[in-house]
Amino acid sequence: MRVKQRLSLAIFLIIAVILAASGAAYLISYNILQDPKADYTAVKNLITIILYLMGILSLMLAVTAVIIFRLLLNKVINPIVELNHITTVMAEGRPDVKFEVKGIDELSGIAANLIRIADSYSTCKGQVLTLENTIAQRQKAVRELAILNELMGFITSETRFDIILKNLVDRTKHLIKSDYCATLIFEPGTFMTKFFVASEEIHDIRRVSIPPEGFFKLPLKEQIPVRLDSQHVLSENQGRTIIPELNLEIKDILAVPLIFSSEVLGLLIIANKQDGTFDHDDEDMLMNFAFQAFQTIAMHEKIANLAITDGLTGLNNHRHFQEKLMEEVEKSKRYERALSLLLLDIDHFKSFNDSYGHQVGDMALKLISSIIKNQIRRTDFSARYGGDEFSIIMPETVYSGAKIFADRLRKKIAETPFPLPNGEKALITVSIGFASIPDNAKDKNELIEMADKALYIAKEHGRNISYGSADISKKPFMPDSKE
């Protein structure tokens, strides 16, 4: 039973007792008056006085009880009810609701203290939320650093660039939980795809073309991220859209540029976030992670290239050529695909060096290297085989295709004038020998041997000739009379 109800009951009982006492006095007086021996006049007057006094006393007690009840109600009961309401609201987690409690000083003080506690709780709750957000951000940063540290450790133990990129893709997908992740690396100075690695596999680069004016214009041209959230996709395309450059169906996508030495060398793309959609925090996290990771990857690749690149010509060196040829021969056997090898030798290069000096000879080597780079396909592999010798590995190229390319390359070099220091121009020619798997060889050593024999015969038959291993017993491909 509430205090208010108890107090009301107590007042009611007091009034009832007073009324009962008055009634009893009346009955007693009435019975006395019925006694025949009594002095009626005196008794009557006495009783009348008593009754009046009892009535007045009862009325005063009743009025006093009502006044006391009203005072208790206003000064004690109502403030207590209001205080109870305050504590209920605070327990429900709504301390921002304001109250005003009027009553005795003690209850008003308690109410004021409760309100101050509620205000302090609101402040503390805001600070707790801020602290929770800060902790969440720190946890994200720690997680990002942990993933980045794992990636760095992997980079130091891996030499293949495509495998490093695959690891980058997998860890990015884990960092920002999404169903799809891919990275594209471009040829230096162009937007031609050199590597395309997705979370599913390492793709054939011929399947991907990224026009600089397309969907990825912002990261390619402005070096800033591009983000398409699910709300935009839902409003524009009923929940899904197609990115034609990747032939990928998405609900949301986020792409950031991969920058090294102020140049965009690639893109890191994530799509179809698993929980919600990509927001500004995801954009900042991916941009920061991609920048730090790619700086290390690009520097690692740059250092690795120094170990596999010829310092003068910029072509691959002999050691890397041997590794690459072994790899391509294994692929050729596994997938039963053709593989061709070309060996080039500059004609009379010793006499050229003796006549013009080694510095001019180095310039000639650079010129021929440049022609080779421009003539081969993106899937081909060129290297400086020796002093004045070059090699070209041509995957998925049959013998007849190698024959056509060898003669075209020979003619291109012969037709390119070489400027001499005295202002004159010289013509430099090369002899080419080539062989193919499975037409002329079965393994790496035999392929090199057969191509080398063909080169030897080409030089023996007058130079400026392309010659194939299958035609050793035949007349070599003599240059046109005009050459």
CATH of the domain at 387: 3.30.70.270
296 and 335 in one domain? no
The rounded Cα 376 to chain-centroid distance in angstroms is 36
Residue 462 is part of which domain span?
318-471
286 and 337 in one domain? no
With 0-12 / 13-18 / 19 or more C-beta atoms within 10 angstroms meaning exposed / middle / buried, residue 367 is: middle
Is residue 283 domain-resident? Answer: yes
At residue 325, the pLDDT reads: 95
Total domain count, the chain: 3
d(CA 331, CA 337): 8
283 and 150 in one domain? no
At residue 304, the pLDDT reads: 72
370 and 241 in one domain? no
329 and 297 in one domain? no
431 and 333 in one domain? yes
150 and 6 in one domain? yes
At residue 418, the pLDDT reads: 92
Note down pLDDT in tens along the chain; length 483 residues.
Answer: 455 666 677 677 777 777 777 677 667 666 665 665 556 566 667 667 776 777 777 777 777 777 777 777 676 677 777 767 767 776 666 655 555 656 555 566 666 776 677 667 667 777 778 888 888 778 877 877 788 888 888 887 787 888 888 989 998 988 888 999 999 888 877 888 888 888 876 555 555 678 888 888 889 888 999 998 766 554 455 556 888 777 788 888 999 999 988 888 899 999 999 888 898 888 988 998 889 888 888 888 777 777 788 989 999 999 999 999 999 999 999 999 999 999 999 999 999 998 889 999 999 999 999 999 999 998 899 999 988 999 999 999 999 999 999 999 999 999 999 998 888 888 899 999 999 999 989 999 999 999 999 999 999 888 899 999 988 755 544 454 344
- How many residues are present in the chain? 483
387 and 439 in one domain? yes
208 and 135 in one domain? no
Is residue 337 domain-resident? Answer: yes
Neighbours of 302 (CB within 10 A): 12
Q: Select from 405, 388, 295, 288 the least CA-distant residue to 347.
A: 388
428 and 382 in one domain? yes
Is residue 76 domain-resident? Answer: yes
Is residue 381 domain-resident? Answer: yes
Domain boundary among 305, 333, 354: 305
Is residue 361 domain-resident? Answer: yes
131 and 3 in one domain? yes
Domain boundary among 124, 157, 190: 157
At residue 483, the pLDDT reads: 43
d(CA 383, CA 74): 101
Is residue 478 domain-resident? Answer: no
Is residue 128 domain-resident? Answer: yes
184 and 146 in one domain? no
| CATH number where 218 lies | 3.30.450.40
